[in-house]
């Protein structure tokens, strides 16, 4: 692990904020690092307001989208709500479907089959719309590159409204309206919405035309917050407000389907991290293992008892997903070792039988072992399909673009993408991708980095300090959980390995002149020798609460330790 200590911000700014807020140096440092330098900015940060949610009509084409939907509702047209099969897509479809169904009944949702149709808008989906007399498709979390498909739909008498957040290509589809804050000609003030966020802007605009406010739409924010967490978009600006209020809905009045999932979990108040690691995988498992429609049906169900049955079904898919993910990861690691590919700049593996629904998760798992840009391929019809994942600081989307001559289709983000290619192109692509990455990546990026906010002493950690830290939440890209470094630490003499196969490290850290603090290091069992027998060490960690036998205490969540 590389430990990178963030530079100390301007001391004048820190002192000014300390004085204005009556806070200590560390808290002021953390705020200035996040671009919060004034009393007003801090107030907005700690107390997100519904006013942080922008006017939806600032988004390019919003007026056209609203006008077309209003016309469709007035004429009782059949409307097809179309979305991708992942969490962002299925929550988007659930949001739009449940909102429009408050206006009329002839609204149908459509999720493409991951295996038969693949990612994004499909000709099969358009044919379904045409054959069943749908005259309007609202596409969510996909469509920004569906140029030919939008034309094909138009020829069949089907209009498109596209709500997407992915990078557009050089040409925008000729739909009735294309809502995407990443359009170069869109002046919308916040560019980092997820697909469900763009869908929310559309229902917000429809509601505004009826004289309603954002507060009237709060019941939909549990879906938006779930998508924000799962899609790993920055939790800054408007996303921070949407996630903040969405978490309130999740914890106080979630929709029936969300409540049915939550009731399966043995947890108290849920954080965005809980949403990402407990709720989102279950929603995702439907599209991975069976069909995304199962997730939409759960999230639009209004009868709690029926929702409980649907949630049990989804949980079974998630169990299947975990088993497949574990098996395929082991097979992929064996393939890398058998081919002596441990020293490459990239990981590219393929087996025709690997489950397409879990190859993205497997790519992330492989990065945990071999920290480098990774693609996992499987057979998909007569093509090969892959999920790509990257390491921090390296744009895998740009690297794929440089290998475009070998690829049939690709799309995605800086750190995650998907692609298809002909099987005959696999070897050439694998070599091209290795060459592009080897020539362009900063070699330091191939060692995992822990970004440390600031040094502190253990005696600074107390209930008041932690209370303020908690108010930095919700955490995510752009506002990560604060990570601290402390030096000259010693264990009190009782450190040990815990958990299955002794994978984890548990110790009690002490420092000259400070109280002792229990520390847990998940996956750090191999560091036991380094801290045993009261050897001095330094550690990087975040701070959280340990709940045990009805008692709550602060603990250090170790990220790494060094001599």
275 lies in some domain: yes
Rg of the chain on CA atoms, in Å:
25
Cα four-point dihedral sign 436, 442, 447, 448: negative
Statement: residue 114 has pLDDT above 90? no
The Cα–Cα gap between 363 and 349 comes to 9
Tell me what percent of the residues of the chain surpass a pLDDT of 70: 100
Residue 491 in 3-state DSSP?
Answer: strand
16 lies in some domain: no
The CATH number for 404's domain is 3.10.310.30
Q: Which domain holds residue 540?
A: 450-562
Q: Based on the fold, state whether residues 78 and 197 are members of the same structural domain.
A: yes
Q: Based on the fold, state whether residues 359 and 257 are members of the same structural domain.
A: no
Report the candidate in 485, 462, 458 with the shortest Cα–Cα distance to residue 542.
485
Q: Based on the fold, state whether residues 216 and 68 are members of the same structural domain.
A: yes
pLDDT category at 204 given cuts 50, 70, 90 is very high
205 lies in some domain: yes
Q: Based on the fold, state whether residues 221 and 189 are members of the same structural domain.
A: yes
Q: Based on the fold, state whether residues 456 and 388 are members of the same structural domain.
A: no
Report the candidate in 175, 191, 174 with the shortest Cα–Cα distance to residue 183.
191
In the prediction, which pLDDT does 413 show? 79
Q: Based on the fold, state whether residues 474 and 550 are members of the same structural domain.
A: yes
Averaged pLDDT of the chain = 95
Mean pLDDT of all residues in 80-108: 97
506 lies in some domain: yes
| Domain end position, chosen among 395, 429, 446 | 446
In the prediction, which pLDDT does 167 show? 86
Q: Are 18 and 24 in contact (CB under 8 A)?
A: yes
Statement: residue 448 has pLDDT above 90? yes
pLDDT category at 60 given cuts 50, 70, 90 is very high
In the prediction, which pLDDT does 370 show? 95
360 lies in some domain: yes
Q: Based on the fold, state whether residues 278 and 138 are members of the same structural domain.
A: yes
Q: Based on the fold, state whether residues 163 and 135 are members of the same structural domain.
A: yes
Sheet of 374-380: strand order equals 347-350, 374-380, 383-389, 416-422, 409-412
> Which pLDDT tens digit goes with each residue over 373-410?
999 999 988 999 999 999 999 999 999 999 999 999 88
Number of domains in the chain: 3
In the prediction, which pLDDT does 119 show? 80
pLDDT category at 118 given cuts 50, 70, 90 is confident
Mean pLDDT of all residues in 323-327: 95
12 lies in some domain: no
Q: How far is CA 545 from the centre of its chain?
A: 24
The CATH number for 485's domain is 2.40.50.460
The Cα–Cα gap between 300 and 232 comes to 23
Report the candidate in 504, 460, 515, 501 with the shortest Cα–Cα distance to residue 484.
460
Statement: residue 411 has pLDDT above 90? no
| Domain end position, chosen among 398, 413, 446 | 446
45 lies in some domain: no
> Which pLDDT tens digit goes with each residue over 246-272?
999 999 999 999 999 999 998 889 999
Q: Based on the fold, state whether residues 273 and 167 are members of the same structural domain.
A: yes
> Which pLDDT tens digit goes with each residue over 121-175?
999 999 999 999 999 999 999 999 999 999 999 999 999 999 999 989 899 999 9
In the prediction, which pLDDT does 427 show? 96
Q: Based on the fold, state whether residues 176 and 282 are members of the same structural domain.
A: yes
Q: Based on the fold, state whether residues 155 and 273 are members of the same structural domain.
A: yes
Q: Based on the fold, state whether residues 227 and 267 are members of the same structural domain.
A: yes
């Amino acid at each position: 692990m590389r430990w990178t200590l963030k530079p100390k911000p301007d001391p004048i700014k820190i002192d000014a904020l300390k004085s204005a807020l009556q806070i200590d140096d560390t808290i002021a440092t953390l705020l200035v690092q996040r671009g919060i330098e004034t009393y007003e900015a801090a107030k907005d940060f700690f107390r997100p307001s519904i006013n942080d949610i922008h006017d939806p009509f600032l988004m390019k084409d919003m007026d056209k989208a609203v006008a077309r939907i209003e016309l469709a509702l007035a004429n009782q047209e059949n409307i097809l709500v179309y979305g991708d099969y992942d969490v962002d897509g299925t929550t988007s479809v659930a949001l739009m479907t449940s909102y429009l169904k408050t206006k009329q009944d002839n609204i149908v949702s459509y999720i493409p089959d991951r295996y038969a149709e693949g990612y994004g808008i499909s000709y099969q989906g358009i044919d379904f719309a045409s054959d069943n007399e749908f005259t309007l498709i609202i596409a969510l979390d996909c469509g920004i590159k569906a140029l030919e498909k939008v034309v094909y739909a138009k020829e069949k008498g089907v209009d498109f409204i596209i709500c997407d957040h992915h990078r557009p290509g050089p040409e925008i589809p000729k739909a009735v309206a294309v809502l995407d804050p990443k359009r170069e000609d869109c002046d919308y003030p916040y560019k980092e919405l997820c697909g469900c966020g763009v869908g929310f802007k559309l229902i917000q605009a429809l509601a505004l035309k009826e004289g309603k406010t954002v507060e009237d739409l709060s019941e939909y924010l549990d879906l938006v917050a779930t998508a924000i967490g799962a899609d790993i978009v920055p939790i800054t600006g408007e996303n921070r407000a949407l996630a903040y209020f969405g978490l309130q809905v999740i914890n106080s009045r979630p929709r029936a389907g969300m409540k049915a999932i939550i009731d399966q979990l043995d947890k108290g108040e849920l954080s965005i991290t809980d949403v990402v690691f407990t709720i989102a995988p279950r929603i995702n498992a439907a599209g991975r293992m069976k069909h995304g429609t199962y997730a939409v049906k759960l999230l639009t169900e209004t009868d709690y008892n029926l929702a409980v049955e649907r949630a049990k079904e989804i949980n079974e898919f998630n169990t299947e997903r975990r088993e497949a993910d574990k098996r395929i990861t082991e097979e992929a690691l064996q393939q890398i070792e058998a081919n002596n590919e441990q020293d490459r700049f990239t990981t590219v593996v393929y087996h025709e039988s690997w489950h397409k629904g879990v190859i993205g998760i497997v790519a992330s798992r492989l990065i945990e072992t071999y920290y480098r840009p990774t693609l996992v391929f499987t057979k998909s019809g007569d093509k090969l399909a892959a999920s790509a994942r990257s390491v921090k600081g390296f744009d895998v989307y740009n690297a794929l673009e440089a290998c475009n001559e070998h690829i049939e289709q690709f799309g995605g983000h800086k750190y995650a993408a998907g692609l298809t290619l002909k099987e005959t192109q696999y070897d050439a692509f694998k070599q091209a991708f290795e060459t592009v990455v080897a020539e362009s990546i900063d070699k330091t990026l191939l060692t995992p980095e822990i970004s440390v906010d600031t040094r502190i002493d253990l005696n600074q950690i107390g209930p008041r300090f932690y209370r303020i830290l908690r108010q930095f939440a919700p955490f995510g890209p752009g506002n990560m959980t604060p990570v601290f470094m402390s030096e000259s630490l010693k264990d009190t003499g009782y450190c040990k390995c815990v958990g299955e196969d002794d994978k984890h490290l548990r110790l009690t850290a002490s420092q000259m002149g400070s109280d002792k603090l229990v520390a847990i290091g998940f996956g750090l069992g191999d560091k036991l020798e380094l801290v045993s027998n009261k050897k001095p060490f330094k550690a990087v960690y975040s701070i959280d609460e340990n709940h045990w036998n009805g008692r709550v205490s602060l603990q250090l969540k170790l990220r790494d330790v060094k001599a």
